[in-house]
Structure 1
Amino acid sequence: MTAHSSTSRAKPGRKPNGPKVAPLVETPPAPDYLSPRAREEWNRLVPAAISIGTFTAVDHRAMELLCETLAAIEELTAAVRNEGCILDTGAGGRKGNPLLRAISEQRSQATKLLGSFGLTPLGRMSVDVKPGPMNDNPLVALLRKNIKN
């Protein structure tokens, strides 16, 4: 590859140039096969992604993975609270709870997925986010009030 050739990968700090898919405007129902906790996440996250224009008809599987990942984090965290961070071994020693590594891995995956939907500050910098209504922004309202005076 020469210095003048282009690649299909987005460069850091640039938005991807892939095919555009129209964002959804209404929240689809959570899939029945999601766990109850994952359905709660769906009902919380999908409207947020729709409000900023980052959820499309082709994103269902990625959102399902995100919702199940967040549900798993909650379940793993509850288990660690119950068992403790340090466990006794059979030989009389102590060791770290292996669930802590699973939580860390799940959080890493969730962070990536949240970012792909623009649901983190850094994620919003790398996806096309539709601006929210300016009238609902308290800073804009304050500035407008001060300009009028």
Structure 2
Amino acid sequence: MKKKSKIPSSTIGLNKKSRFDYFLGDRFEAGIALQGWEVKSLRAGKLQLNDTYVLMKDNEAWLLGAIITPLPTASTHIHPESQRTRKLLLHRSELTKLFEIVERKGNSLVPTAMYWKKGYIKLEFAAATGKKDYDKRDTEKKRDWDREKERLFKH
């Protein structure tokens, strides 16, 4: 019988599809402006990061497409919007660096993970360039070959 560890994992959610769909470059970390019900839902692990991206607009960074499902115990006088646009909290120097990255052709900002850090919720995102279909097939072939190599060397 396995015992649950008393220390919970700091990871809230991952975007595993991002590594398959994009070539990931520099990684960044940002805080997020959240409402109270969203923090409670994130503690319960109610997060979907698939098909999300970071938008740079009006000298600010915004998280679009993240779905935080409200808990059924949410207050009756609050009408939670699960897929609202959330502001990312970054320093001015980080924002200017991100604007330079986004202005280059073919680059976008893709969230890769959301996690707890010193009691705060942080979002990790990366500068990304989209993969073509043949790039995705090459990645899949390489991954299969590496797995097969491991099996052969194990025996």
Normalized per residue, the structure richer in helix is: 1
What's the TM-score once normalised by structure 1's chain length? 0.24
What's the TM-score once normalised by structure 2's chain length? 0.23
- Higher RCO (CA < 8 A, seq sep 6+): 2
